[in-house]
Chain A
Amino acid sequence: MTLALTVNSTSHTIEIADENTPLLWVIRDMLELKGTKFGCGKAACGACTVHVDGEAVRSCSYAVKFAEGKQITTIEGLGDEKNPHPVQQAWIEEVVPQCGYCQPGFMMATAALLEKVSSPTDDDIDKNIINVCRCATYYRMRKAIHRAAALMSSLPLPESQNT
C-alpha cells in the first residue's frame, strides 16, 4: 500500500506491505534517517522518540499508518550544526553525550517537554524525561534541560561547569 508521510517538512510517498510496520523502521530503513535509534522495540527505553504533530512518540511502537498526514520530526529535523535547536545547543554547551546512542531520544523528549512546560522544575523533568541512558549521563542532561529552557526564554543562563 502507499502512504504519504511528512518527515522534517519533506513529503515522502512510501510503498509498504504492512501498514502496521513501526514508524521507526520506516524512518530508519526506508527514509534512511538513522538518528532515530532502536533500543528495545517495546516502548521501554525512548531511544526511538520522534515528534508526531509536536508530541513525543516512541516510534518503535507506533504503526506507520497512524503517521499519515501528520508532521513528523526526527533529530535530523530538530536542528543542524548551522542552526541548532536550543536543546541541541544546550547539549553541546553541557557536553552531555557519552556513547551518544540514547541522546537523540532524550533531546526529542526534552524538546517536546519544553514546548509544553517552558521552564520545567526538577520534578517536571523527573516525571517527563523517562528514557534510559546506560552511560547514565542524567546529571548533565538535567543541567542541559534547564539550560535549554533558559535559551528558549529570556531566563538568565545557568553557569556551565564544562568547557
Chain B
Amino acid sequence: MNQDKKNTKKVSRRSFLVRGGLGTAGVLALGTYLFRNPIRRVVAGAINTADAPFSGNTDTPIVWFEVTTDNYIVLHSPKVEMGQGTFTGLAQMAADELEVSMTQMRVVHANSASGNVDGFATGGSTSISSLWMPLRELAATMREMISSEAAKKLNVNTSDLSITDGVITGGGKSMTYAEAVMGVKDWKVPDTPKLKSLSDYKFIGKPIARVDLNDKVFGAPIFGMDATLPDMLYGAVARPSLIGAKYIDANTSKAENMPGVVKIIKEKDFVGVVANSYIEAHNAKDAIEVEWETDKNWSTADIRAMVEVGKGKAYVIQKEGHPDESLEDPTETIISEYWSPIGAHAQLEPNGALASVEGERVTVMISTQVVGLTRDEIAKRLDLDKNEVNVVPTFLGGGFGRRLHTPNAVQAAVLSKAVGKPVKCFFTRKEEFQNDTFRPPTHHVLKAKLKIDGTIEALEHNVSSGDVAFGSPIVPRIAEPVLGADLGAWRGGMIQYGAIANYQAISWRVKLPFATSWWRSLGLLANTFAIESFMDELAVKTNRNPAEFRLAHIQDDGRGKRLKSVIEAVVEKSGYSDEVINGKAMGFAVSTDTNTPCAQVVEVSIHEAEIKVHKVTCAMDPGLVVNPDQVRAQCEGAIIMGISAVLYEKMEVVDGALTPTIYGPYQMALMKHAPKEIDVVLLQGAEVPGAVGEPPLGPIGAAIANAVFRLTGKRLREMPLNLDKNIVS
C-alpha cells in the first residue's frame, strides 16, 4: 500500500539540532525527510491511490519540539488545525513515544520561519497518516537523546533509567526532561530507536479529549480573524461580483472623503482601502467606483451546457477487460445520467489576513492550509527573499479546501506596506460567496450491461467536471500534460467492483469561467452519488438486495476484503431492509476513498415533499485509529455536511454573477436537518492510519437517493435532491 512506502524513511541522523530559548529548556530540530517532488508523487500515485501528495522542500533544520522549563513539551505542528482534530492525534502520537502525559503536551502551529511547515498543504485527509511513522520516530529519538543526557547527569547507565510523565528516574535519583536538557550543547543523535509496540501505547487508540477544547469552549482568540498587532489598521479590497471580471481602473474620489479612511491604494490588479475600523474600510471600499471588464453575461444554463459528458477532453482513467465492445449494442445497454451543482465552501470564518510589513521583514497571521505557498507568493509580490517573510498560521475557522490558496495574504501585505502599519484585511460574506473556489458542477453518464444471471457484465462511468486539482496552484501546471485527467475531479470516480469483467471510468475535463477547486472530498461526493445510485438501479432491476448485489461484484483481494467488511458491518448494525416501515425507508451506498472504504445506511421519510434523514449508520475502515472519538466526530460532521450538500446546497449563475451571497438563501443543513441518530462502526483493516476526514462524505448522497426511491419509486438524479411537491408518500 502506498501509505507504507511513504512512512518507511528513517530520521536522518546528522540533521538533529538543539538550541535554547526563552522559557525553553531545549528545542529539538531536524532536517526533514518526508519531502519529495510533488509532481512525481502525483504521477506515481495518480492511478490507484488518490492521496493528495505530501511534499515540499527544505534543507534547513526545522523545529519540532520544545521542552519548556516547567516540563511541558511543545510540538510545532507542520499541519494546521481546521477542526479535523490533527493537533490531538499528533499529541497522542508524540506523548506515547516521549513518555509524557497528555496534559504535558502543548501543540502550536509551526510558522514558516521555524521551517517546520508542510511544503505542500494540509488537506487530502493525510495529516495523521503521513506523520504516523516520522513523528513517532522523532519523539522516540528525542526521548533517547534526553535520557542519555540524564544518565550522564545522574551518573547512571541509560539501561538503569525509567521514565514516567517526563521524569527520568535511576539510581535512586530523578530529574525532569527540562532539567536533563538544560545546558546541553552537544547532542548525540542515536540511531532511530525501535518504536513501541501498539499494545504498549497509552494514548494512541484512546478517545482522548481534543487538546484545543478549552480554547474553543471559552472563546480564546485563536483564529486568523482574531489576530491583532499594536497600531493595527483595517483594510478592504474591492472584489468583483461578476464572473471573469478583470480589474481595469477605479475612481476613488468619493471613497477618499469617507470617514476613517487612512489611504486608498491602487495597484495594477486591485484597489484597496486602509481605514481605522473594519466598517469604515468596507464602507469606503463600497464607495469606490471600480471599472471591471467582463467578456460574457454567464448564466446557470451556459455553465450546465459546458459540463456535459461528450464535450471537453476525455481521459480513460481506469479500464479492465473490453468495456467498449460489451457496451456496443444500445439495445442491451442500460444508461443513466446524474448531475451535481456548483457548491460553495461557506466556511464560517471568512478569508483574510493580518499583515505587517516593516522594511524588508513581513509577518502575516492567517488561516491557511498552504503556509509555504502563501509565503512564496508574498515574497514574490514584494520582491523579497522568502526568508524575510514569516507566515504564522492560526487556527482555521473551517478549511474544507477553501484555504488551499490564500492570495488575499498578498493583498494584505501590499496594503500594510503602503501605510507602514499592520493591516488586517478580511472578506465580507458576499465577497466570500462570489469569490470562492467552488466545487465544480458535474455530469455523469453511466452505462451497464447485465448478464442473464443478473450480474454485471460491463460497467462504465463517465464524469464531466470543472477542474479541481488543475484549478489549484499547489498542483504545478506542468503536471497537467503528465496527468491528463484531473485527479481531484475523478476522486471516487473509479469503479470499486473489481469482480466485474469489463469496466472503465472516463474523466471529461471542462475549464469553467470561474474558479473551481478543492472542496472537502473533491469528486468523491458527486461521483459516488452517481455510481452508487446507478448500482442501486441495477440491483432493483435484477431484484437483488442492494448490499448483496454489491458484494457479488467485489473481488477477493485485500482491498476487496476491506470493502466487503464495511458492507457487512453496516448491514448488520443498521438491520438493513428493503421494506418501507412506518413511512420510513432505508437506503444503502458504499465508497472507497484514499484506501478508506465506507458504507452507510440511512433512514429517510418524506413529509410534504421534504426529505428527512432520521438515522445514519456508518461503517468505515480507516485502518489504525489514533483517536476513535475524533474519527467519530469526523464521520458525524462529514455525514451532516454531506446531507447539506445533497439536499440543499446550490450556487446559481444569474446575470453573470454567482448567487446567492448569504447564508439562508444559500441553504445549508441546520440543527433541524441533522439526523438525531448517527451510529458509527469503525473497523481496522490495516496496521497504519489512513484517511478519515473525507471518506464518510462518499456514500451519503446515493444512500439518501436510494432510500427516496424505495419510498416513492422515483429516482432522483440531480443534487440537490428535489422532490416534486405533488409527490406524496
Interface residues of A (CB under 8 A from B): 17-18, 21-22, 25, 29, 32-42, 44-45, 47, 74-76, 79-81, 84, 88, 91-92, 95-104, 107, 122, 125-127, 129-142, 161-163
Contacts and interface: CB of A to CB of B under 8 A. Distances in A.
A135 to B, nearest CB: 5
Nearest to A96: B217
A95 B218 contact: no
Interface in B615-660: 629-630, 632-633, 636-641, 644
15 contacts: A17-B260, A22-B279, A35-B218, A40-B662, A40-B663, A92-B214, A95-B630, A125-B671, A134-B400, A136-B638, A137-B636, A138-B673, A139-B636, A141-B671, A163-B207
A38 B279 CA distance: 12
Q: Give chain B's interface secondary structure class.
A: loop
Contact of A44 (B83, B214, B219, B663): B663
B91 interface: no
Given A21-B279, A103-B216, A139-B675, A134 B350 contact: no
A9 to B, nearest CB: 16
Q: Give chain A's interface secondary structure class.
A: loop
A132 B663 contact: yes
A55 B84 CA distance: 32
A98 B654 CA distance: 34
B217 A136 contact: no
Nearest to B668: A132
B209 A95 contact: yes
A135 B399 CA distance: 9
A163 B345 CA distance: 30
Contacts of B637: 98, 135-137
A96 B632 CA distance: 11
Nearest to A74: B219
A104 B219 contact: yes
B348 A18 contact: no
Given A21-B279, A34-B219, A35-B218, A135 B629 contact: no
Given A41-B429, A132-B348, 15 more contacts: A25-B277, A37-B349, A75-B218, A76-B218, A130-B671, A130-B672, A134-B345, A134-B347, A135-B398, A138-B669, A138-B670, A139-B675, A139-B678, A140-B633, A163-B208
Contacts of A135: 83, 398, 637, 641
Contacts of B671: 125-126, 129-131, 138, 141-142
A133 B209 CA distance: 20
A161 B429 CA distance: 36
A64 to B, nearest CB: 11
B17 interface: no
Given A37-B348, A40-B663, A163-B209, A29 B277 contact: yes
B14 to A, nearest CB: 39
Contacts of A131: 670-671
Given A44-B662, A142-B676, A99 B209 contact: no
B70 to A, nearest CB: 18
A88 B216 contact: no
Nearest to A30: B277
Contact of B350 (A25, A38, A162): A38
Interface string B212-249: 11111111111101101000000000000000000000
Listed residue (B279, B348, B664, B669) with the most chain A CB atoms within 10 angstroms of its CB: B348
B428 interface: yes
A32 B220 CA distance: 11
A101 B210 contact: no
A126 B672 CA distance: 5
A29 B278 contact: yes
Interface string B659-701: 0001110001111111110100000000000000000000000
B397 interface: yes
